[in-house]
């Protein structure tokens, strides 16, 4: 079965800068597919090509089997977009923003009113329908943008950092709504810097850097294949490093900490306690964040 989005050798350049380089992926109907990567990795550029905002330089891209460069109007009718920035119209109330946006899709006024009421309830903003935008909290604004993206009953939802800057309660509410949409058959692609968000939401994801894909798979498979099931953490000291080297244990150092990835923490921890001089040892489950840092590094990106 063809995917909702299909890309092959997809490339985007700006003058001499390569933003996306020869990537290939397929997003299936009814799944949440994530794009992860540091700043400047090419995530947002990829989203903009899918949204028919930025034309590709070369390669193949199909959305609903159509070419975004040739059929942008038809594709845009079937997608909903949550941009990274908050771009609600401050001149309108919550319901006013949604009703105005509905006009872009030629939704009849009576039907638009019904959809607005249902969507405000869906994002828990019914009591704020007549509230001005500047009176809303950051979380309310992000939820309203999600409602706006759903006004045309899209088959595909494109989310660029959907929960950026939100408190835990607001994030969890949006996660709940996105999972509900997936259960109804919606297809969702998203970018996020929150690794726990990607792990909780995504059926599959890619980690990209410098415009290319580093790995692709389910969150669980990526953690298992890239770093194992557990991480042992110890204080970084010459004695600990010498002991690990003597034991032939592979490790990584991060400032004042040493980390060892393993699938057999109990046996290895016992060996380390018996053989090494440890002032501290901690064992925790490996996470998607460990995978991300292993593949993209720990250096800050501007």
pLDDT digits 0-9 by tens, 174-193? 999 999 999 999 999 999 99
Residue 278 — pLDDT band, cuts 50, 70, 90?
Answer: confident
Residue 279: the pLDDT is 83
Residue 59: the pLDDT is 97
Residues 281, 233 contacting (CB under 8 angstroms): yes
Residue 129: the pLDDT is 94
Q: Is the predicted pLDDT of residue 268 greater than 80, yes or no?
A: yes
Residue 298: the pLDDT is 67
Residue 166: the pLDDT is 87
Cα 185 from Cα 30, distance rounded (Å)? 5
Domains in the chain (CATH in brackets) are 5-217 (3.40.50.300), 229-285 (3.30.70)
The region of weakest confidence among 66-75, 108-117, 275-284 is 275-284
45-50: Cβ within 8 A, 24+ apart: 45/12, 45/19, 45/20, 45/211, 46/10, 46/12, 46/20, 46/208, 47/158, 47/160, 47/189, 47/191, 49/10, 49/12, 49/20, 50/5, 50/79, 50/158, 50/189
The region of weakest confidence among 21-25, 70-74, 199-203, 293-297 is 293-297
Going by C-alpha positions, the residue among 151, 152, 157 that lies closest to residue 50 is 157
Residues 28, 6 contacting (CB under 8 angstroms): no
pTM of the model: 0.92
Residue 299: the pLDDT is 66
Residue 13: the pLDDT is 96
The region of weakest confidence among 41-50, 101-110, 257-266 is 257-266
Question: If you average pLDDT over residues 132-149, what whole number do you get?
Answer: 94
Residue 57: the pLDDT is 97
Strand partners, 283: 232
Residue 95: the pLDDT is 97
Q: Is the predicted pLDDT of residue 301 greater than 60, yes or no?
A: no
User: Average per-residue pLDDT in the chain?
Assistant: 93
Residue 266: the pLDDT is 87
Q: Is the predicted pLDDT of residue 300 greater than 70, yes or no?
A: no
Tokens (6 digits) for 29: 């109907």
Tens of pLDDT, residue by residue over 93-137, are: 999 999 999 999 999 999 999 999 999 999 999 999 999 999 999
In order, the DSSP letters of 104-126 are TTT--HHHHHHHHHHHHHHTT-G
């Amino acid at each position: 079965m063809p995917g909702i989005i299909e890309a092959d050798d997809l490339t985007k350049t700006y003058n001499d800068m390569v933003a996306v380089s020869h990537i290939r992926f397929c997003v299936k109907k009814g799944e949440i597919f994530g794009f992860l990567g540091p700043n400047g990795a090419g995530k947002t550029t990829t989203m903009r090509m899918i949204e028919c905002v930025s034309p590709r330089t070369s390669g193949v891209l199909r959305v609903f089997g159509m070419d975004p460069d040739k059929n942008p109007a038809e594709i845009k009718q079937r997608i909903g977009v949550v941009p990274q920035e908050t771009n609600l119209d401050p001149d309108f109330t919550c319901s006013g923003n949604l009703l105005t946006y509905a006009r872009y899709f030629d939704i009849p006024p009576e039907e638009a009113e019904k959809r607005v009421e249902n969507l405000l309830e869906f994002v828990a903003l019914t009591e704020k329908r007549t509230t001005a935008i500047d009176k809303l909290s950051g979380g309310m604004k992000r939820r309203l943008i999600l409602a706006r993206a759903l006004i045309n009953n899209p088959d595909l939802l494109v989310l660029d950092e959907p929960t950026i800057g939100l408190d835990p309660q607001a994030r969890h509410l949006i996660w709940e709504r996105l999972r509900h949409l997936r259960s109804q058959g919606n297809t969702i692609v998203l970018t996020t810097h929150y690794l726990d968000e990607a792990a909780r939401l995504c059926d599959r994801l890619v980690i990209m850097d410098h415009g290319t894909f580093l790995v692709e798979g389910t969150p669980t498979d990526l953690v298992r294949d890239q770093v194992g099931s557990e991480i042992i953490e110890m204080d970084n000291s010459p004695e600990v490093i010498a002991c690990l080297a003597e034991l032939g244990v592979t490790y990584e150092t991060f400032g004042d900490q040493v980390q060892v990835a393993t699938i057999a923490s109990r046996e290895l921890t016992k060996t380390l306690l018996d053989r090494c001089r440890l002032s501290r040892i901690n064992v925790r489950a490996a996470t998607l964040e460990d995978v991300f840092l292993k593949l993209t590094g720990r250096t800050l990106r501007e």
